[in-house]
Structure 1
Amino acid sequence: MPLLVIIILLILAWFLYKLIYYRSNSFIELKNKIEKYTKDCNDLNDHIYELKRTHIGIDQLDYGKASYQDASNYNYKRPELKKQVFAPNICNCSRSVCDSARKQPFKYVCKYFNIKSTEENLEQFENMLNNFEAAENGKNLLVNEKNNIINGISSEIPFLIKTFDKKNLEKKLGFEPIDLSTIYFPKYIFKYTSSGGNAATQCDVVFNLDNLNRFVVYLSELVKFKKSAAGQRALMTSKLRKSILERDGYTCQKCGASQKNEPNLLLEVDHIIPISKGGITSVENLQTLCWRCNRSKGSKLDF
């Protein structure tokens, strides 16, 4: 029998094997058995997605709209010119600005992307840092929890399925895909392209957790220099967040859930009196909540 025919038959046999298994009563019973845990994982996954959607809420300057035509007789346009993109997070600038942004990224991000040194903006960046750190921590905890659930039923899953069809198995069990990427971190881009398109440089300032911590401190110094009340309060940095979690014994202050009993429990640091209602970032106004309680607080006004 030709090798090609054998391969085709094997593929068809594998396809039919999976089709029969995923429609079997044993698999349906297994899926129902862990339905509660699957739902809990998916709810946490949705919550992490919401945390990653944190927006700093700072509008870019509106410079208006214009049409532009190049009627030049010179045919010297290079490919780099065609790559130029105009977007709120991209600054098409001179070479000197691009080089200076590399040396002093925070200063130039504030200057060219209209981020004012105000207490309001400082709070927004602190909130972004707090949410992003919870999201990054939550992703790892979620992966661990999902793996624990699947490992718990591993003996009831056929060897071929759990070995060669793992991703599809997770999908069939009802687990939503977990996005482990960090592309949601805000990125500010300075781009220089010469008039002829022969030279091009680019400086990317990515606000990952490290840069967000640094930027919060940088912005707070500018705010304090202006004698704002923010100079008298604490900064919501990773260091402060960790100290609150340690102070509260890694235990939710509302429901009592603890990482001691639930190693993969996502805990968050919350303002007892919300910033929107006059609360400030201070040790006394911060508490540890599990993600479920923090999520329910966000949907209730009388928490």
Structure 2
Amino acid sequence: MTTNKRNMKILLYAIIWIILTIISPKLGLFILLTILAYQIYLYIYFNSIKFTSIKDSIKKYTNNSNELNHHIQELKCSYINVKSYDYGSSILQDTSKYNLKRREWSNELKNNQVHNCSSTVCKNANSQPFKYLCKYFNLKTDEETLSNFENVLNDFAAAEQGKKLLQAEREIIINSIKNDIPVLIYTLSKERLIKELGFETIDLSDLYFPVYTFQYVSAGGNSSARCDIKLDVENLDKFVNYLSGIVKFRNSIQGQRDLMTSKLREQIKVRDSYTCKSCNISTHIEKNLLLEIDHIVPLSKGGITSESNLQTLCWRCNRSKGAKIL
């Protein structure tokens, strides 16, 4: 639960309690004492020898879960920010003596992933997002850019799959000790229980997907429009195919390589029987195992994206390999 949601929940409980206290002071006092008693009960239980024993019994699984969680966060950081011009900073003030309200000026965004443009460009970007993304955000349509975005797609797809598998594995672990946990705590304080067991919070948001924005704000500041291009897994898949069509036209080397798309990732896993080529662990043994696609000879060392140069590795082996050639 995020801090904002937690604060809203506390505020809601406080409002309900105040209303009940006004209606019936005795009922309000009873509820307050019940809440305090339950909090004391939680404190005593989570500091008890029994709970410590349960926590220690799953410590290995807790550590593995947290390690995978860290790996997923690393995968989310694979996106390489595209260099953009820095035009400096300034402050725009409306000093009109007629005191006009240019409301849209204050909503204008300024960062290296926002392009301020005419309404026509904004509209055209909505019709042809990838074409305008390359044109106005200095993305070269060459082999290097294609490879970079293939890597980003590969990591983002693994991160999204990893989040689901991590949740499922965590639920299995918690369910395995369900009968040892008091029903009241398991039912009313499951989030607190997960935290006390040592599990770190799983970030399920998709805020790490880069978003490029075409923004139009009229000179008068009274009208505006924007087109957002969100490079999530689905859109990255399409973008890689778009770049491939252009690069293939300009560079014959494209005929010697495959595209690291979601389809190819799945093909490699099927070919390798969903088994890590390094440690031989498979999804048949570990149901919620995160498998990733690795370049046997890294791109940085002259390798290319082709079926013969791709292999399935579990996230642990892939993480330890890095840029090494096994």
Assess same fold via TM > 0.5: yes
* 5+ long unaligned stretches in structure 1: none
Matches within 5 A, 1:52-201: 52-60=76-84, 62-65=85-88, 67=90, 73=97, 75-201=99-225
Letter aligned with residue 222 of structure 1: I
Q: Which runs of 4+ in 1 moved over 3 A?
A: 66-75, 300-303
1:232 corresponds in structure 2 to 256
- The number of residues matched between the two structures is 301
The answer to whether structure 1 residue 31 and structure 2 residue 51 are counterparts is: no
Shift of 1:161: 0.7
* Residue among 221, 230, 238 paired with 1:206: 230
- Matched residues in 2 for 1:40 and 1:67: separation? 48
- Separation of aligned partners in 2, 1:301 and 1:286: 14
Kindly provide the CA deviation profile for residues 72-103 of structure 1, in whole angstroms up to 9, marking residues without a partner as x: 54533422111112101111111000000000
Offset at residue 182 of structure 1 (A) = 1.1
Question: Residue 101 and residue 121 in structure 1: after superposition, are their counterparts in 2 closer, same or farther (change >3 A)?
Answer: same
What do you get for the CA RMSD once the two structures are aligned?
1.5
Between stretches 73-82 and 42-51, larger displacement belongs to 73-82
Q: How has the CA–CA distance of structure 1 residues 73 and 231 changed in structure 2, closer, same or farther, with 3 Å as cutoff?
A: farther
Cα deviation for residue 220 of structure 1 reads: 1.1
Superposition TM-score, scaled by structure 2 size: 0.89
1:291 aligns with 2:279: no
User: Structure 1 length as normaliser, TM-score?
Assistant: 0.95
Matches of 1:69 and 1:185, distance apart in 2: 30
* Per-residue Cα deviation, 1:42-100 (whole angstroms, up to 9, x for no partner): 0000000000111235312x244264665654533422111112101111111000000
- Structure 1: which amino acid aligns with 2:233? L
1:273/1:285 contact within 8 Å kept: yes
Q: Contact conserved, 1:224 with 1:231, CA < 8 A, in 2?
A: yes
Give SS of 2:104's match: helix
Deviation at 1:297, TM superposition (A): 0.5
What residue in structure 1 maps to residue 37 of structure 2?
13
| 1:253–1:289 contact (8 Å) kept in structure 2 | yes
For residues 67 and 201 of structure 1, the distance between their equivalents in structure 2, rounded to whole angstroms, comes to 22
Mapped contact 1:58–1:121 kept (Cα < 8 A): no
1:249 — aligned with what?
Answer: 273
SS state at 1:261 partner:
coil
Identity %: 52
- Residues 103 and 302 (structure 1), Cα distance of their counterparts in 2 relative to 1, 3 Å cut: closer
The question of 1:216 aligning with 2:226 is answered no
How far has the Cα of 1:22 moved from its partner?
A: 0.3
Q: CA deviation at 1:261?
A: 0.8
Secondary structure in 2 matching 1:189: strand
Instruction: Name the SS for the 1:79 alignment partner.
Output: coil
Deviates more, 1:68-77 or 1:276-285: 68-77
Distance verdict in 2 for CA 1:67–1:27, change over 3 Å: closer
Unaligned residue ranges in structure 2 (runs of 5+): 1-24
Report the alpha carbon displacement of residue 229 of structure 1 after superposing the two structures with TM: 1.7
1:247–1:28 Cα change, 3 Å? same
- Give the residue type in structure 1 aligned to 2:273: G
